[in-house]
Amino acid sequence: MGESQGIVIIAVHFKNAFRGADRDAATFDGIWQISETPIEIGNGEIQVPQWRNFQLDEWGHFWAVDSQGVGHFAAYDEDGCLYGISKDPDLTKHNLTSRVLINDVEDHVLTTPDHLRLEEGYELVIEAIDLDGNKVYVELLRGGKVVDAAVIKVETPCATVKDKTYTYTRDLGDAEDVVVIAVHFKSSFRGTERDVAIVDGIWQISETPTNV
């Protein structure tokens, strides 16, 4: 492969083998193959992303690289809901990464109309909770202007992690509809004096991607 010699490009692992009266059989349980056509890259043009945990376990994992001691998001892993919500979950396909701004699991108790302050000028406002206390209506503001709104099914029966998570997507360079903000709601209820929602997971990456 280029100037590299003796590179394993095919590997097949055999689990067992036996010789029978009617036929001989072998079982293999692992196959590996890489392309024989390598891609040339220059020094410093690529880093190997590492598999990382979201602070909120329910979101699964993501891939990241470190640059000068700062974590940069590379891709969402298939084991979490943020992967499916993003049209382009892998920034590395576009030679991009994005700085991780928030990866937090501290509980935030919010009453209507509290503002949950995020980075890069964003605020998530708890506008209302329905009469049953099951759904939370939120608006996302930037610079005091509403840029998005959603209803989160926090206490709805059989609600999934995706149902309980507010997400906001943006185009990052050539990567389309990437989740840049995710907020997970732990619970909500409607009280006689005030309505309350508890947020226990916040994720945000920068809208200004970095070329790699």
Q: What is the pLDDT of residues 157-195, one digit of tens each?
A: 999 999 999 999 999 999 999 999 999 999 999 988 889
DSSP single-letter state for residue 59:
G
Q: What is the pLDDT of residues 5-21, one digit of tens each?
A: 889 999 999 999 999 88
At position 122, the amino acid (one-letter code) is: Y
Residue 1 has a pLDDT of: 80
The mean pLDDT value of the chain amounts to 92
Long-range contacts for 42-49 (Cβ within 8 Å, ≥24 apart)? 45/212, 46/212, 47/212, 49/74, 49/75, 49/92
Average pLDDT over residues 53-72: 92
Residues 6+ apart with CB under 8 A from 157: none
Q: What is the pLDDT of residues 123-143, one digit of tens each?
A: 999 999 999 999 999 999 999
Please indicate whether residue 172 or residue 69 has the higher confidence score (pLDDT).
172
DSSP single-letter state for residue 90:
B
Residue 22 has a pLDDT of: 86
CATH superfamily of the 50-211 domain? DU1608 C-terminal domain (2.60.98.40)
Per-domain residue ranges of the chain: 50-211
Please indicate whether residue 2 or residue 103 has the higher confidence score (pLDDT).
103
Residue 35 has a pLDDT of: 86
Reported pTM:
0.79
